[in-house]
Every structure is written in structure tokens, then in C-alpha cells.
Structure 1
Amino acid sequence: CSGCSGCSRCSGCSGCLDPDLVSVLAAGWYWGSLTANEAKEILQDASEGTFLVRDSSQQDYLFTISAVTSAGPTNLRIEYKHGKFKLDSVVLVKPRLKQFDSVVHLVEHYVQLSRTSDKAAMANSDSAAAAPNGMVQLLLTKPVYTTTPSLQHLSRIAINRRTRRVQDLPLPNRLKDYLTDYAYNV
């Protein structure tokens, strides 16, 4: 599309997504055009909380999180409207779901929530994605990488888990730039 007049898939110009696509690709847990069945096969023997992000097979959505829940592998669409990402859910839960500037911020939020909350507390928060028959816990604890991440990338994630003040670290500027290129902790 030209400008930001809106397109059928994203309600905004696809150019608006470019920085987000770069961060999603750098994450290592974005699998691209994987189908739901292929994602289910990858997650088949994984523990609860294991997840990956892939392209959505539905026209109105860009991305889907495929994750293992207590009920087995499931797929959660990521909605993109007005420049923000959020999980798609039933109407009753939608107002409680947070919106994010990027897919990686969305995933990071739910990973952090999964790390710090127990299941009972999560059922009462915005982290629970509702199914028609009740609440299903969304735990995102372990990403499935497309390939083994480099030691540098894993180190960057570990540093970003510990501090958001990378510029204050006694490191060369080139290394600080590398750390801030992917400033997420997942």
C-alpha cells in the first residue's frame, strides 16, 4: 500500500512493520510460514510453556504463537491494529489484553509474566487467553529456536535480563550497540 492508508492484513502500511520484522527475525524463535500442523509436530513432545512464533495462515492476522498448554499444543493469533499488537481472544477478555509496539515486546511480556507468576495468579490476569468453554493458561517459558542460537545472542539475552541500562556498562561502544540492537530478554 502507499502511505499508511491501511491494507487488508494489517490495518496499516506494511512499511510500519519493518523494524519489528527485523527484531522478530533476530529472536530466533520465529519460524516463518510454518503451518499449524507443522508447528504441532514440532511442539508434540515439548513441555508446557514451550512456544514458537510463525506466520498466521489466516488472512486477517500476521503472526500466530504456537504454544504447549496444559491441554496440549494450541495456536494463538496475534492481532495487529492501529500500529499495536495484542493476542486475539474472545470479546469478554479482549479489553483486558495489553497492546504492544512489537511482536517481540508482546512475547517478552508474556514470558516475563510466566516466569514471575504462578498458575493461580495468572488465571486472574491478562495472561490468560480465553477459550469458549473457559480459561486456558498461556505460559510462555521456553522458545523453540529455528537453529541453535549463537553464544553472542544468548549472552545478549542474559545481559538484557539483568539490566536495561546497557549504556552504563563498562563495555566498548561497539558491544553496547550489539546489545541494544536486540534489547529483549527472550
Structure 2
Amino acid sequence: MTCQSSESPDAIESDPGGAATSRGPVECDESRVSLAMKELNSTGWYWGSLSANEAKEILQDAAEGTFLVRDSSQRDYLFTISAMTSAGPTNLRIEYQHGKFKLDSVLLVRPKLKQFDSVVHLVEHYVKLSRTGHKKAPKSQPSTPPNGTVPLLLTRPAYATIPPLQHLCRVAINRSAGRVRDLPLPNRLKDYVADYAYNV
């Protein structure tokens, strides 16, 4: 894995003694990945060190669009999304570079892919795209496009452990509410909802 920060070396200031006072690239990456892990662990759909074959078994009888996130078995990647498609289970690696997470893809498409500060934010984005695109697609549309590619939908998580009811409630609140801070809720509850500001 290549660990680099989006900060340029020029951004690191030195004290009079010559020691760097700003956090270095490795420390910045460690905190970014640590925060990503904390968020993933609270989702319920992060399975940890699951192999590709184990993920395939879990998704084998699931509906199209069912997905999970697991640790990547390839050393150059941290995480992998395993999802059920119309052609069966498939895997898509998540790349971490320059302090950002994005889907791994062919070189021509890679510059066009969005980058995210966290894995959960990445997954949330593609779940939203999948859900809106899936609703708009006509029922008569074939599940496999003529060029042989298979559409990847992320519509429902496969839970490794069912999250607490409080967590599922805040996900539902985030999905339906525009601004959590404007809701008629106690401040403690607003803080709890805002601590995981995702809707998946």
C-alpha cells in the first residue's frame, strides 16, 4: 500500500530547532485510516478479514444489490466491496491514496472516479446512485447490457452483526432528515445522530 498525504512537503513548518511541528504524511494517513475503521466497525456491514470465497458463500443466495465490505486479501489495498450482481457475486477493491478512498478501476476511468474521505462515505455515494438509478430503470430493461458488462448495484447491506436499534434509528433519521441540528431533539441525541452522519 502506498501511504501518502494530500499535504505537500512545503506545508510542514519547522520550529527554530529544526524539528517538524506539523503531522507527517504517515501520521496523517494513520489517523485517516483509523477514523475509517471506527466508522466501518459501527456499520454492521463491515466483515473484517473475510476471504473472497467466504464472501461469495455469504452472498450466493442474496438478492442483487446486496453488498458487504471486508478487508482486502491483496496487500496493495485495504478494503474490498463484495456485492451480488445479476451474474453472481463479484469483488471491487477500494484504493487508498493521497489521503482519499476511491474504487479501483482501469487507468482510463480512474481519473473520473470520485474520491472520498472515508469508506462509509464512498459506499453511501454508490448506494445512493444505485437506489436512484434502480428506481428509474424501466422494468423491461435487460439485466445484462449488450456489451457484456454487468451493472454493479449496491442497494442493501449484508450485516455481519445487527447494529443496535439506536444506530439503525440514526441511519433512518439521516436518510429522511435534511439538517439534523434543526430537528426538535435533545442536544445529546443530535450529537449521537451527527456522530455517524451517513444513511447506510
Cα distance in structure 2, aligned partners of 1:16 and 1:151? 27
Query: Normalising by structure 1, what TM-score?
Result: 0.84
- Structure 1 runs (4+) greater than 2 angstroms displaced: 12-16, 118-121, 133-136
Q: Deviations over 1:98-151 (max 9, x none)?
A: 111110000000000011113997xxxxxxxxxxx8533110001011112222
Query: Normalising by structure 2, what TM-score?
Result: 0.79
**1:72 corresponds to 2:88:** yes
The answer to whether the 8 Å contact 1:119/1:137 transfers is no
Cα distance in structure 1, aligned partners of 2:148 and 2:33? 33
**1:148 corresponds to 2:162:** yes
Residue-pair matches, total? 170
Q: Supply the AA of the counterpart residue of 1:137.
A: P
SS in structure 1 of the partner of residue 188 of structure 2: helix
Q: Supply the AA of the counterpart residue of 1:32.
A: G
Q: Which residue of 2 aligns with 1:55?
A: 71
Larger radius of gyration: 2
Cα distance in structure 2, aligned partners of 1:20 and 1:177? 19
Which sits farther off after the overlay, 26-35 or 12-21? 12-21
Which sits farther off after the overlay, 164-173 or 72-81? 164-173
The answer to whether the 8 Å contact 2:29/2:99 transfers is no
Which sits farther off after the overlay, 93-102 or 103-112? 93-102
The answer to whether the 8 Å contact 1:51/1:65 transfers is yes
SS in structure 2 of the partner of residue 138 of structure 1: coil
> What is the identity percentage for the equivalent residue pairs of Structure 1 and Structure 2?
72
Q: Which residue of 2 aligns with 1:161?
A: 175
**1:14 corresponds to 2:30:** yes
SS in structure 2 of the partner of residue 27 of structure 1: coil
SS in structure 1 of the partner of residue 41 of structure 2: helix
Cα distance in structure 2, aligned partners of 1:174 and 1:46? 37
**1:178 corresponds to 2:199:** no
Q: Specify whether residues 49 and 61 from structure 1 end up closer, same or farther in structure 2 by C-alpha distance, changes over 3 A only.
A: same
Q: Which residue of 2 aligns with 1:3?
A: 24
Mapping of residues 30-179 of structure 1, within 5 Å:
30-118=46-134, 135-179=149-193
Q: Specify whether residues 173 and 5 from structure 1 end up closer, same or farther in structure 2 by C-alpha distance, changes over 3 A only.
A: closer
Give 1:80 shift: 0.4
Q: Deviations over 1:163-183 (max 9, x none)?
A: 241111111111111101111
Q: Deviations over 1:67-93 (max 9, x none)?
A: 001111001000000011111011222
Cα distance in structure 2, aligned partners of 1:140 and 1:45? 16
Q: Supply the AA of the counterpart residue of 2:152.
A: L
Q: Specify whether residues 90 and 119 from structure 1 end up closer, same or farther in structure 2 by C-alpha distance, changes over 3 A only.
A: farther
SS in structure 1 of the partner of residue 108 of structure 2: coil
SS in structure 1 of the partner of residue 25 of structure 2: coil
